[in-house]
Amino acid sequence: MANTTIFHTRRGRAIPAADAVNQAGGRAYQHTAEQALAQYAMTGCFNQTFYAGAVDQIATVMSYADQVSPEYLAKLAVFARERGYMKDMPAFLTALLTVKGPEWVPVIFPRVIDNGRMVRNFVQILRSGVIGRRSLGTMPKRLVKEWISRRGEASLFMDSVGNAPSLQDVIKMVRPKPENAMREAFYGYLIGKNHNASDLPKVVQEYERFKQNQAMPLPDVDFRLLTALNLSTDHWVGIARNANWQMTRMNLNTFARHGVFRVNGMDQVIARRLRDEKAIRRAKVFPYQLMAAYFMADETVPDSVIDALQDAMEIALQNVPAISGNVVVLPDTSYSMTQPVTGYRKGASSKVRCVDVAALVSAAIVARNPKAQVLPFDTKVHWVRLNARDSIMSNAARLAGLGGGGTNCAAPLIELNRQKAKVDTVIYVSDNESWVDAQRFGYGYASRSGAGTGVMAQWSILKQRNPDAKLVCIDVVPNRTTQAIEREDILNIGGFSDQVFSVIDDFIRNEPQRWVQAINRLSLS
């Protein structure tokens, strides 16, 4: 008889051998080039992360871009902008296409480079030399000129806020041809050249008159053009009344500081705007941005406005699916998850951490699936009981306060297997930088050739009891590896927008669409 210690029969599917080492030194599975690019596009902001620098991200993205088609890059740029609400990465991919697939740039330019900030990002990236060129070139210059010419004067004036490069710098670079006397005066005004003031657009003339005399009516311009002036409470009330949704969300404390909420009825004006469903959709808000506004609002912001932020959160998370069967959510609360969700940036890091996003996603799933079980983890599972009737914000705050140790992504699956739990859907929200499980299972950092990850080992055991169970791994950072290899019962996805939930819903309902497939099916016509 052959040695049964070596040749014993194993139940269930074979565990795939890990083919990569993650940034924490643990065993992992390498994403395909298309999957890795999608992960970077939907989470990357070119800032320092816990394990990798901004320059490393650029090098990684460019390396993967060499392995995919220009058409995929074009579709990914549109997907990341329109559905992922990202800024830096879609602009970078569009700039990269000027070298790798210039025929696609005019096709996607209007959909990706859709406002003043995106134009500045695009020009900045091209001029940096990172993608292999330092000049705009004929075609990109033409596209930017056409964008400026199509943009209305009021919108273009709003776009003049910002720098590095400023809109003024861009106009000097591309030299758009003025179509009429108004545009000629306007371009001259923006770049500081002689112009006929009487030909300026109405909004600019109103702004200049207001600068000279604050008794004049308040101009309808970006409030950042006005903050250097001596503004009264009435002026700030006017600014608050005219503000768009995003500006309102970002300046609640500013409004309070300048007395806006002391004016009768203004708290209701702001509250109605914040909970306006159409405005929320139009603003392309990330749920975590609402969370940031909620936690940063100080005691001078009225309760009615704070309540409106919670209502807005419920609207922003309407795409969270109602999942049948037994649902388990596994938010990673380890120390690496305390990094800012958009990376470290000196003087400008987001106050929202990856663990806050993991907690928010978990709380949102519980809100739609009241019987869902939540097992937060770092090196071990932390026991917590959430009430689905509590607000998403309250449950998220409770989860975000847990943990802080190393990362053992296998820990919650070990617990489910210990309980012999009946499970239909398991959802991770993590940075996937698991390393403790590799040591616990005796794999070591790079030892034992042929071993799989702890997650796959435990998932294989769980599947023996629950053959129809599905695993979703939501990664909240730019990453080239995963702890669970993609297959028919496992979905890997990343990002911060509600698009994540739409793809998860399709996966759980057995729709024949995966994340990369959704990108590839995007129409560019």
- Segments making up each domain of the chain, as ranges: 20-27+325-520, 69-219, 222-316
Helix orientation angle between 54-65 and 88-100, rounded to the nearest 10 degrees: 40
Whether 276 shows a pLDDT value over 90: the answer reads yes
Q: What percent of the chain has pLDDT over 90?
A: 69
**Span of 112-121, 244-253, 402-411 with lowest mean pLDDT:** 402-411
Higher pLDDT, 133 or 309: 309
CB proximity list for 158: less than 8 A, separation 6 or greater: 116, 221, 222
CB proximity list for 422: less than 8 A, separation 6 or greater: 326, 465, 466
Q: In sequence order, what DSSP letters do the residues of 297-360 get, joined into one string?
A: --TTS-HHHHHHHHHHHHHHTTTSPP--S-EEEEEB-SGGGGSBTT-B-TTT--S-BHHHHHHH
CB proximity list for 511: less than 8 A, separation 6 or greater: 505
Question: What's the pLDDT score for residue 238?
Answer: 94
Question: What's the pLDDT score for residue 446?
Answer: 37
What are the two backbone dihedrals, phi and then psi, of residue 317, each rounded to the nearest 5 degrees?
A: -110, 25
Q: What percent of the chain has pLDDT over 70?
A: 93
Question: What's the pLDDT score for residue 108?
Answer: 98
Question: What's the pLDDT score for residue 123?
Answer: 95
Q: What is the mean pLDDT of residues 251-259?
A: 97
Full strand arrangement of the beta sheet holding 27-30: 20-21, 27-30, 481-482
**Span of 207-221, 397-411, 474-488 with lowest mean pLDDT:** 397-411
Whether 98 shows a pLDDT value over 70: the answer reads yes
CB proximity list for 284: less than 8 A, separation 6 or greater: 85, 497
pLDDT in tens, 430-444: 999 998 865 544 433
Q: What is the CA radius of gyration of the chain?
A: 26
- pLDDT confidence band for 404 (50 / 70 / 90): confident
Return mean pLDDT, the chain: 89
Question: What's the pLDDT score for residue 413?
Answer: 97
Question: What's the pLDDT score for residue 55?
Answer: 77
Q: What is the mean pLDDT of residues 473-482?
A: 93
- Which single residue is written with the structure tokens 């940075």? 431
Whether 295 shows a pLDDT value over 90: the answer reads no
Q: Which of 40-44, 245-249, 347-351, 450-454 has the highest mean pLDDT?
A: 245-249
pLDDT in tens, 21-52: 998 889 999 999 999 999 999 988 776 666 66
Question: What's the pLDDT score for residue 5?
Answer: 41
Whether 445 shows a pLDDT value over 50: the answer reads no
Number of CB atoms found within 10 A of residue 161's CB: 15
Token code pair at residue 97:
């296409």
CATH number attached to the domain at 20-27+325-520: 3.40.50.410
Q: What is the mean pLDDT of residues 353-359?
A: 91
Question: What's the pLDDT score for residue 9?
Answer: 44
pLDDT in tens, 304-346: 999 999 999 989 888 898 999 999 999 999 999 998 888 777 7
**Span of 59-73, 165-179, 220-234 with lowest mean pLDDT:** 220-234
The alpha carbon of 8 is separated from its chain's Cα centroid by a whole number of angstroms, namely 47
Q: In sequence order, what DSSP letters do the residues of 29-52 get, joined into one string?
A: EEPPHHHHHHHHHHH--SSB-SS-
